[in-house]
Amino acid sequence: MCSLYYCFGNHLFLTWMIFVPTYSYTL
């Protein structure tokens, strides 16, 4: 089981990697 900080940071990183290309593509 990973630490809360690591899990939260990893989740934000994955969301950022998915959201940014999609958002920039729609623009």
pLDDT digit string, tens, across residues 12-22: 888 888 888 88
- For residues 5 and 1, which has the higher predicted lDDT (pLDDT)? 5
pLDDT at 8 over 80: no
Scan for tokens 């593509």, then name that residue.
Answer: 25
b/e map of 1-27 (b: 16 or more CB within 10 Å)? Answer: eeeeeeeeeeeeeeeeeeeeeeeeeee
For residues 7 and 23, give the distance between their C-alpha atoms in angstroms, rounded to a whole number. Answer: 24
In single-letter form, the type of residue at position 4 comes to L
pLDDT at 11 over 70: yes
Note down the domain range covering 16: 1-27
Number of domains the chain is built from: 1
